[in-house]
Amino acid sequence: MDPNNTPSLAPPPGIEPNFSNPVTLQSKVIAVAAVTLFLCTVGISARIYTRAIILKQFDHTDCSVLLAGALFTAFMALTIVTGQHGQGRHQWDITVANGSKILRYSNISQVIYSPTMFFAKYAVLRQIELIFLKHRPRHVAYKVIWALIWANLVFYTAMMISFILGCVPRDKIWHPQVPGRCINNTLALLFTSTINVISDLTILIVPLAGVWTLQLPSTKKLGAMAIFAVGIFAVVSSIVRLYYTAKLTQTRDYSWAIVPTTCWVFAEFTTVILVACFPSFPRLFAHLRNRDGESPYCPSHNNPIAREGSHTIQLQRIESKGFSSTADLGVHAASFERTFTESSND
């Protein structure tokens, strides 16, 4: 048998294998990859700029977001390379030699999947803790968040190990004819998808419930909830992905049927990463709006409050850590001081 001229799967009756110019879904995968990578890049860039440059509060949670983004990019690149070898075609249009390469690259991407999702969800959970429970370590929600962090760590570590050791010997993963034993890869993917749905639902419910218990005006509650509402799409993505993963158990044309699952994995990754990044957007937008000098946050000659001779306040000097001023003790001065203090605390 020549592996370069033998199809990976016997074609249906009346269909001839086409190795030279087959129908493929690769263009759809690339399009989805481009959109999701762009969204993730924008979200991560906004978060890192806000945390590192504006707030100067860059920490290990931000490193977690960067790791998730880097691993997601690697996952995406491997998926596209896999498509160059035939994934996205009908399996009878793929040679045995290329089928072996697809299995190898697919296994590597499955191994990468687990740490990528863990780092993304860790960032989301820590973001929830810092926003709502920073000074409330005894609150039940605080304990729930850390329970979820540890549960996700254990689960994704176990899944990563299961994909690394999916076959004994490991070479059997991409050379099925080699003697040995393997776990059922499709069932492993189905189990992973099911746990992801549960995890995404829990991560969505915790912040929404946390916001509702805060002593905030209704408008601010709704605004904060809207930031995390993008997590609804993460849940939708994981549910749709579960549906298409379940369909893999009903087909032998795996290389064609896996494409919708792959696209929804991209969507799930993207929404989880964006949930971790969106809370930084309001602060970034406020910073960008205030760069024109029309705000007490950033006084300039165009700002009537900052102009010398103003009836409300006169700025005597600007120092590196703030400003000192003389004021008429009026309402405007008090408002100015309160606003500046709040912005400094940010």
For residue range 76-126, what is the model confidence (pLDDT) as tens digits?
999 999 999 999 999 999 999 999 999 999 999 999 999 999 999 999 988
Distance of CA 43 to the CA centre of its chain: 9
Average per-residue pLDDT in the chain? 81
Distance CA 46, CA 168 (A): 44
Distance CA 110, CA 4 (A): 26
Write down the pLDDT at residue 216. Answer: 63
Which residues in the chain belong to E strands, given as ranges?
167-168, 181-182, 313-319, 322-327
Distance CA 108, CA 137 (A): 39
Residue-wise over 322-332: b if at least 16 C-beta within 10 A, else e?
A: ebebeeeeeeb
First CA to last CA across the chain, in angstroms? 68
Quick count: other Cβ atoms within 10 Å of Cβ 279?
19
Helix, coil or strand: residue 236: helix
How large is the greatest C-alpha to C-alpha distance in the chain, in angstroms? 93
pLDDT digits (tens, 9 = 90+) for 198-235: 988 888 887 677 667 767 667 666 666 666 677 788 88
Alpha helices in 137-253 (DSSP H): 140-164, 185-213, 218-228, 231-247
Distance CA 110, CA 254 (A): 15
pLDDT digits (tens, 9 = 90+) for 30-42: 999 999 999 999 9
- Prediction pTM value: 0.79
Mean pLDDT of 263-282: 91
Please give the structure tokens belonging to residue 59. Answer: 């920490």
DSSP 283: H
The yes or no reply on domain 26-287 and CATH 1.20.1070 is: yes
Distance CA 211, CA 131 (A): 9
The domain spans of the chain are 26-287, 296-345
Burial class, 302, CB count within 10 angstroms (exposed 0-12 / middle 13-18 / buried 19+)? exposed
Distance CA 169, CA 179 (A): 8
pLDDT digits (tens, 9 = 90+) for 293-324: 443 333 333 444 334 444 443 333 333 334 33
Spatial contact of 153 and 125, defined as CB atoms under 8 Å apart: no
